């Protein structure tokens, strides 16, 4: 038997690991193998833990009690405790009675204590159900780094300005985003209640499931943030096209007039040659209509010349494409219109 001791210890260790991730059948099989190889008290105790976890809760027949026995009672201390919890709903640290520097372990410990005291099945005080939900909300927030940071910055204070009935509606709106109070309680203490709280392996297994749930929620949140960022980045790509479209629309509006304000060739009555001050683009105007239009305003002149340069760049782009198709220019020998387009496009 001594020769099997090491193998028995190894099987028991693997069984505990399987138990912690919820694979109870594998845990039981390996624990029984460990017991066969080298019977130990630890293996026997672990098998009892697995049995209690996997066996369904025994059905009990409710006993008939008189009205005096069935009436739920509560103490003044319990009433004051419920009021104290609901009164500090704007600060989850006060709800759990922990410091702002509390660690995850301290927050978990505080939740265990508070949840047992205020669970509706144990505490019949009016408002205990709302206090229990608030305790769960506080733990869900403080155990998540992102939510905790928002709470610390005051981003979750709106709940504290609402009454207890209002908190109920707020809870139902948000419950899809987090585990429900009852499910959270079961994850800590097991579906059969807190009687398993003293079993180290069972308690760890339930909380391991909750940690996996939190990790899944954080992954979904990060995925939504990435998708939102990608959508914003994608919309930014369209701004240059919007600018070009606006320029084309403005150009079309100006060209739709009976007499164009300017042309790039000598076309009657636009026979007076001018040059833009910024990029030296030649254009022709009718002095009788052009100068009265701008008057003595340098600002109007700059705006018109800027539009002239934009129109000229668009004209060069069309000419460049047309000449490349017609003449078959090689890439190393660009037409003059293409060279001029490159020069102006970089400067505009």
Taking only the tens place, the pLDDT of each residue in 236-251 is 666 677 878 888 777 6
What confidence tier does 21 reach under pLDDT thresholds 50, 70, 90?
confident
What confidence tier does 59 reach under pLDDT thresholds 50, 70, 90?
very low
How far is 42 from 15, CA to CA, in rounded Å? Answer: 12
Q: How many CB atoms lie under 10 A from the CB of residue 49?
A: 19
Which H or E element spans position 47?
A: helix 41-54
Which residue ranges form the domains of the chain, and what is each CATH number?
2-54 (no CATH), 73-233 (1.10.287.110), 245-347 (no CATH)
Segment among 191-195, 207-211, 293-297 with least mean pLDDT: 191-195
Q: How many CB atoms lie under 10 A from the CB of residue 243?
A: 11
Query: What pLDDT sits at residue 165?
Result: 47
Q: What is the mean pLDDT of residues 90-119?
A: 92
3-state secondary structure of 283: strand
Query: What pLDDT sits at residue 256?
Result: 46
Query: What mean pLDDT value characterizes the chain?
Result: 78
Q: Is the pLDDT of residue 198 over 50?
A: no
Q: What is the mean pLDDT of residues 262-284?
A: 93
Query: What pLDDT sits at residue 63?
Result: 47
Side-chain-side CA neighbours of 134 within 13 Å: the count stands at 31
Query: What pLDDT sits at residue 328?
Result: 65
> What is the DSSP secondary structure assignment for residue 285, as one 8-state letter?
E
Q: What is the mean pLDDT of residues 45-68?
A: 64
Q: Is the pLDDT of residue 147 over 60?
A: yes
Instruction: With 0.85 as the threshold, say if the pTM is over it.
Output: no
Cis peptide before 290 (omega within 30 of 0): no
What confidence tier does 159 reach under pLDDT thresholds 50, 70, 90?
very low
What confidence tier does 231 reach under pLDDT thresholds 50, 70, 90?
confident
Assess contact for 275 and 282: CB atoms under 8 A: yes
Nearest to 197 by CA among 49, 92, 85: 49
Q: Where are the alpha helices (DSSP H) in 55-199?
A: 67-70, 76-87, 92-96, 104-118, 128-142, 145-152, 164-174, 181-189
Which H or E element spans position 39?
A: none
């Amino acid at each position: 038997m001594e020769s099997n001791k090491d193998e028995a210890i190894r099987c028991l260790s693997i069984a505990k690991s399987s138990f912690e991730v919820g694979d109870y059948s594998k845990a039981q099989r390996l624990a029984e193998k460990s017991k066969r190889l080298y019977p130990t008290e630890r293996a026997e105790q672990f098998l009892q833990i697995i049995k209690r976890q996997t066996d369904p809760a025994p059905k009990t027949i409710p006993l008939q009690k008189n009205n005096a026995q069935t009436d739920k009672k509560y103490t003044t201390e319990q009433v004051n405790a419920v009021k104290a919890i609901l009164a500090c709903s704007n600060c989850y640290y006060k709800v759990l009675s922990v410091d702002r520097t509390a660690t995850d372990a301290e927050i978990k410990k505080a939740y265990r204590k508070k949840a047992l005291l205020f669970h509706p099945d144990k505490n019949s005080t009016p408002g205990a159900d709302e206090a229990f939900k608030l305790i769960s909300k506080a733990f869900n927030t403080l155990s998540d780094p992102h939510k905790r940071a928002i709470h610390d910055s005051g981003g979750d204070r709106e709940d504290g300005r609402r009454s207890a009935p209002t908190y109920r509606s707020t809870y139902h709106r948000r419950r899809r985003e987090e585990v429900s109070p009852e499910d959270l309680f079961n994850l800590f203490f097991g579906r059969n209640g807190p009687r398993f709280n003293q079993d180290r392996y069972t308690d760890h297994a339930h909380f391991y499931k909750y940690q996996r749930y939190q990790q899944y929620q954080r992954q979904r949140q990060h995925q939504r943030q990435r998708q939102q960022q990608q959508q914003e980045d994608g919309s930014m790509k369209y701004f240059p096209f919007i600018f070009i479209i606006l320029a084309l629309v403005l150009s079309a509006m100006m060209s739709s007039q009976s007499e164009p304000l300017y042309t790039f060739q000598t076309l009657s009555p636009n026979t007076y040659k001018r040059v833009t001050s910024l990029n030296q683009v030649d254009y022709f105007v009718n002095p009788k209509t052009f100068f009265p239009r701008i008057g003595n305003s340098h600002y109007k002149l700059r705006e018109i010349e800027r539009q002239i340069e934009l129109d000229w760049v668009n004209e060069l782009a069309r000419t460049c494409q047309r000449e490349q198709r017609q003449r078959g220019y090689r890439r190393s020998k660009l037409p003059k219109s293409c060279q001029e387009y490159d020069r102006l496009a970089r400067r505009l």
